[in-house]
Amino acid sequence: MTTAIPAPISATRSMPVGLAVVSIPLLFVVLGLAIRYAAFYTGHPGATAAEFAQGLCRWDCGWYVRIAETGYDPFPVPTMINAGNWAFFPFYPTVIGVLRLIFVGAPTMVIATVASIIFTWIAVVVAWPLFERNWRAYTLYAAFLLSGPFSIYFTTFYTEVMFLLLITCVFAALKRQNYLLAGCFAALLSATRIVGVFIVFAIVLQAYLDHRAQGGTFKSFLTTIWTRTDLLLGIFIAPLGLFIYMAFLHYKIGDALAFQHDQRAWGRVTGSPFGYLWKALTNFPGSGFIPSASQQLAVGSIAGIALSIWLGFRKQLPAAVFCGICLVLPLFAGMASMMRFVAGLPPLSIELMKLLSRNKVSTVLFLLLFLVLDFEFTLGWLGGALALV
Amino acid sequence: MFKRLPAYGLIAVFAAFEIAVLWLALHPDVPEDYRAYYIDQSTTCLNQPVTGEYRLGQVIDFTASEGDLSKPFKACGWKGPSKEGTDAVGETSRLRFIFPQTAPSLTLQFEAIAVDHPETPTQTVKVLANGVPVGEVTIDQSAPQNFKLAIPAEAIAAMPGRIELRFDYPEAFAPPGIANTYKRSIKLLWITLQPNPA
């Protein structure tokens, strides 16, 4: 199956490429902020910037704030609850914790909100080489992340911000066949979310595909990999973030797998992903035609898996494998947070934006739709829409 | 080959570190309560270090009418309080009472109601004090019911000045897909340990 890729579209005749790459997401930084503030303002007239930042901190955000401010819980947890904060991976809260030491006195959520917006902006800029000079898709991608329906995930204190940035960095490094650099970003990624460690499969697969492209075979890949110290180092560095966190947990509470064992306190039960999807799809709303939160999550999950398969068809196997793992693994524990997990996978959203921006009309229409949905989804977030959690 | 030696050295260091951490992961060094709840999953009740400071005869309110007065006693397996009482969660709950007085015999009194659930009209609750069986009661959903159980002398002698109450809920229920740590059974409204006259 082949799909025609739109011909590269030149940026502007007057603006240098670099400036356009940096400026386009900056425009959506401002637009997104204005839209989300407007949504927040409807329920909180006269809200200050600090109140706005704090007001958007919902659900898991509070856990990240506490880790950034006071670190990880000992055992027993001082608040005498079963759920320790060990389930939340350390890299992004640590970054915010360090920023707190620099910007002494500033509220954590103000620091985190500004940092998240900057990191997401950087993530968009870093993704530029992955767009093959497709300006329309790039513009739509910037709008999607910074002022689109799920912008809330990338502009408040959620680990998705750093996950997005680091995945983009890994794939940008792989595009340049720099496996060592990809491994270094992967190490940070594996300390950001548990599924981040599986990026190591994408690195190995990409190295193999590059080897094949240069006329090598599977056998010669296996025999020469031992001499490729850049690749070997990348592979062994990639999971270091996870292993360092595990070593820390063993030192802190005596259980290197505390992040996994802690799931019991959230009542998660391991089951079949198909079973969970079917149950969610058939969980019809009590009244009306708006799909239930479970149905929305199921549709989001299926769309994410379909996009992963589509990536495979598009010969982006490393990204397809990584995204597939990142979506299927959490499904073993149910539908919780699946919308966030799908939206936080840049290979999927980049490919989706390429599909949505096939012509000027569709680009403009989806751009406008993203802006409208940014407002609506922010209201939903503030109103406790379960599908967004 | 020799140019690559530092790289191979680094790879060996990383590999050794990762293997060492995997070994640690397989050999957790944790307290018994942690192991039972998180690792072995042999209990739904994670024992918390509540003070349990108590005066014999004191009635502890488990409704939200006066805030959470029951917090110092709830060692594990409780959620709430609400106006209707404090929900037992999981398959077992524990309460801790530590008191300065001595009493040769004690009577446990409490009021509870079964959680509304058409498929489970009644809940059986097995009560143990300091590990010694105290009795078994059946609680229905109609209205709060009072229960009075004598604490065996051997239970009082086992831990002077301390009563660790354990409630087991063999008929606790949870919707499909929800872990046994979230099972529901009864709501407790109040409880007291009354010293019996000598």
Q: What is the pLDDT, as a whole number, of residue B1? A: 55
Contact B179 A269 (CB under 8 A): yes
A243 and B21: CB-CB below 8 Å? yes
Q: Which pLDDT does position A1 carry in this prediction?
A: 40
**Distance, CA of B84 to CA of B165 (rounded, Å):** 21
Partners of B87 in the beta sheet?
A: B79, B187
pLDDT digits (tens, 9 = 90+) for A310-356: 999 999 999 999 999 999 999 999 999 999 999 999 999 999 999 99
Question: Per-residue DSSP letters for B92-153?
Answer: EEEEEEE-SS--S-EEEEEEEEEPP-TT--EEEEEEEETTEEEEEEEEESSS-EEEEEEEPH
Contact A227 B18 (CB under 8 A): no
Paired strand residues for B186:
B114
Asked if A334 is an interface residue toward chain B (Cβ–Cβ < 8 A), one would say yes
Q: What is the pLDDT of residue B179?
A: 86
Mapping DSSP to helix (H, G, I), strand (E, B) and coil, where does residue B166 land?
strand
Asked if A121 contacts A32 with a C-beta cutoff of 8 angstroms, the reply is: no
CA distance from start to end of chain A: 36
B53–chain A nearest CA distance, Å: 16
pLDDT at A14: 64
> Residue B90 carries which DSSP code?
S
Among candidates A240, A253, A255 on the partner chain, residue whose Cβ is nearest the Cβ of B14: A240
CATH of B44-195, picked from 3.40.1010.10, 3.40.50.720, 2.60.120.260, 3.90.550.10, is 2.60.120.260
A200, A230, A231, A236: best to mutate for the B interface, most B CBs within 10 A: A236
For residue A273, the chain B residue with the least C-alpha distance is B177
Pairwise CA distance, residues A145 & A138, whole Å: 11
Q: What is the pLDDT of residue A12?
A: 52
Measured between beta carbons, the chain A residues lying within 8 angstroms of B46 are: 82, 265
Q: Where are the alpha helices (DSSP H) in chain A?
A: 17-43, 49-55, 61-70, 91-102, 108-127, 135-147, 151-155, 160-175, 179-190, 199-213, 218-224, 229-237, 240-253, 258-261, 273-281, 293-313, 317-331, 338-343, 346-356, 360-383
Residue A332 vs residues A133, A242, A346: alpha-carbon distances, Å: 38, 21, 22
> pTM for this structure?
0.92
Find chain A residues with C-beta within 8 A of B38's C-beta.
Answer: 255, 258, 261-262, 264-265
Q: What is the block-wise mean pLDDT of chain B (198 residues), using blocks of 10 residues?
A: 82 97 98 96 94 95 83 94 93 96 91 94 96 96 95 94 96 85 95 89
pLDDT tens for residues B2-13? 578 899 999 999
With a CB cutoff of 8 Å and minimum separation 6, the contacts of B5 are none
The residues of chain A scoring below 50 in pLDDT are 1-5
pLDDT of residue A3: 47
pLDDT tens-place string over residues B91-118: 999 999 999 988 889 999 999 999 999 9
Whether residue A257 lies within 8 A of chain B, CB to CB, comes out as yes
ipTM of the complex, rounded to two decimals = 0.89
Q: What is the pLDDT of residue A269?
A: 83
> Domain extents for chain B?
2-30, 44-195
